[in-house]
Amino acid sequence: MTTLLNRPGAPTEPARSLPGRLRAAVPSRSDTPTWISYLAILAVVLAAITAVVMTGDARSTRHGIDVIGHHTAPTVTSTEDLYFALADMDAQVANVLLAGDDSTLATVRKNALATYEQRRVQADTDLQQAMTIATNDDASQQIRTLLDKFGQYQALAAETFQLSDLDRGAAGQPSARTLAAYRSATGMVPDLLSRAQKLADTNSGVLSQAYRDAEDTTVTGRAWIAVLGLLLLAVLIGLQVLLRVAVRRRVNPALAVTTLLAAGLLVGGYVAEGSAAHQLTVAKHDAFDSLLALRQARAIGYDANADESRYLLDPEHATDYQQSYFKKSQRLVGVQARGVDDYSAALDQALAAHGTDMKQAISADSFLGTELRNITFGGEGAAAQQSVTAYQAYQHDDHTLRGLAGTDLRAAIALDTGASNDHFAAYDKALVATIDINQHAFDAAIADGEDALSGWTDWLPYGAAVLFAVLILVGVRPRLAEYR
């Protein structure tokens, strides 16, 4: 009797020790091979579908990370850098004319010419880079227009320098024709900067859309992995139970290994998608949003600094330049101030009222206010606060400079091209340090996101599906042979 019970395929005895419901669900002996085959085929098909879906989602997410990290973000960076370079170019043209033929300001003139050339090369490089990685035809056309207008501006600036050399005007008092040439050149700057900012905004929008698409992909991918994974595990467990009940095999080693590996694959894929999604959030919200605000702050800051020089150089338009400076200052660090005359005092009062909690002192819709509300990385908070402190010192100089402009132009020029520029440089250095912290974090998050999906875009899911098919075949083939 014992020998008979242990013989493979015994038709009735295995069900005798089972609960009633489970015994009723057991296929008859003639149906058992069919059910085993069906479940085995279904498991293989589900494994293949899971591999295809998992690979497709991983590739879509990887593509989104690539678009954000290696295409749109560098384009935004180059166009924001272009804005800064253009603004500083015009500031240096103004500084050349402020220095004039004054021998005591010869160093100022020499440094201004050198910086102008440096920014000119930088702007040209930014335009070439933006053209190389332009995301669409519209962006390419915008860049070509910028290149054309940039060439026109350089020609007008060169004419200004030439006339300044010929006429040898006193400090801050260029000849009429030199000033007219400068007005023509600086008159192009608002349009150039507007076009540069529009290009940056366009690419920033592309980046934001790429982020939303990638985020949706990771959410959808994890949902599909969960659904398909549960189905695959249910089928593998069902096949295991069927073999246990029908042919009295407690554990099928091959199917047990397949089930464990499938669970590991599904958990791994889910975790990889989750990790990529997290790194995308770090790159976009924590790092790039700060980078965008900080780079815009740097660009606007250089344009405001140019307005300060224009204010001294062109008294006829001084009121316009003063108002422009005030608006840009508010965009950088927004405080409750009526105009440029009380801006510095209002900034002092706001910072003193809130102590070290600078974000409460500065409006949230200003660039540095945005950054102070998005402090995430080590050292970022200290660098951002140092930027505000250095900016405060620069504003003190500006307030003094405007007081001198009407009584002692020579002293105002000396302050503008001396201590004020030094304090602006200190502010810019702190701002660049904050940018570098966020740029490093952005680059690291992009790299980590790509690493998280390494293998999941090709060989790992497909290789696992093939392995599962082999193990399932190894597991069920001997059992089916018992029915022949």
Residue of higher predicted confidence among 403 and 33: 403
Domain encompassing residue 184: 31-481
Domain presence at residue 6? no
Confidence check: pLDDT of 442 > 50: yes
Q: How far apart are CA 272 and CA 458, in angstroms?
A: 14
Residue of higher predicted confidence among 204 and 30: 204
Domain presence at residue 26? no
pLDDT score, position 134: 63
pLDDT score, position 316: 93
Domain presence at residue 165? yes
CA separation (Å) from 170 to 165, 166, 179, 197? 11, 12, 12, 36
Q: How far apart are CA 395 and CA 389, in angstroms?
A: 10
Confidence check: pLDDT of 17 > 60: no
Domain presence at residue 24? no
pLDDT score, position 4: 35
Q: What is the mean pLDDT of residues 269-288?
A: 90
Confidence check: pLDDT of 12 > 60: no
Residue of higher predicted confidence among 10 and 415: 415
Per the structure, the count of domains in the chain is 1
Instruction: Give the pTM.
Output: 0.85
| Residue 18: band (very low, low, confident or very high) from pLDDT cuts 50, 70, 90 | very low
Q: What is the mean pLDDT of residues 454-480?
A: 87
pLDDT score, position 137: 72
Confidence check: pLDDT of 438 > 80: yes
| Residue 135: band (very low, low, confident or very high) from pLDDT cuts 50, 70, 90 | low
pLDDT score, position 213: 85
3-state secondary structure the chain: CHHHHHCCCCCCHHHHHCCHHHHHHCCCCCCHHHHHHHHHHHHHHHHHHHHHHHHHHHHHHHHHHHHHHHHHHHHHHHHHHHHHHHHHHHHHHHHHHHHCCCHHHHHHHHHHHHHHHHHHHHHHHHHHHHHHCCCCHHHHHHHHHHHHHHHHHHHHHHHHHHHHHHHCCECCECCHHHHHHHHHHHHHHHHHHHHHHHHHHHHHHHHHHHHHHHHHHHHHHHHHHHHHHHHHHHHHHHHHHHHHHHHCCCCCHHHHHHHHHHHHHHHHHHHHHHHHHHHHHHHHHHHHHHHHHHHHHHHHHHHHHHHHHHHHHCHHHHHHHHHHHHHHHHHHCCCCCCCHHHHHHHHHHHHHHHCCCHHHHCCCCCHHHHHHCCCCCCCHHHHHHHHHHHHHHHHHHHHHHHHHHCCCHHHHHHHHHCHHHHHHHHHHHHHHHHHHHHHHHHHHHHHHHHHHCCCCCCHHHHHHHHHHHHHHHHHHHHHHHCCC
Angle 439-441-444 (CA atoms, 0-180°, nearest 5)? 110
Confidence check: pLDDT of 29 > 60: no
Domain presence at residue 25? no
Least confident segment among 140-149, 155-164, 375-384, 475-484: 475-484
Domain presence at residue 11? no
Helices 289-313 and 409-417 pack at an angle, to 10 degrees, of 150
Mean pLDDT, all residues of the chain: 87
| Residue 204: band (very low, low, confident or very high) from pLDDT cuts 50, 70, 90 | confident
pLDDT score, position 406: 86
Confidence check: pLDDT of 5 > 50: no
- What are the pLDDT digits (tens) for 147-200? 899 999 999 999 999 999 999 989 999 999 999 999 999 999 999 999 888 888
Residue of higher predicted confidence among 294 and 483: 294
In terms of average pLDDT, the best of 62-66, 208-212, 285-289 is: 285-289
pLDDT score, position 244: 78
Confidence check: pLDDT of 463 > 80: yes
Q: How far apart are CA 190 and CA 187, in angstroms?
A: 7
| Residue 483: band (very low, low, confident or very high) from pLDDT cuts 50, 70, 90 | low
pLDDT score, position 77: 86
Domain presence at residue 49? yes
Q: What is the mean pLDDT of residues 388-412?
A: 94
- What are the pLDDT digits (tens) for 302-361? 999 999 999 999 999 999 999 999 999 999 999 999 999 999 999 999 999 987 789 899
Domain presence at residue 5? no
pLDDT score, position 241: 86
pLDDT score, position 315: 92
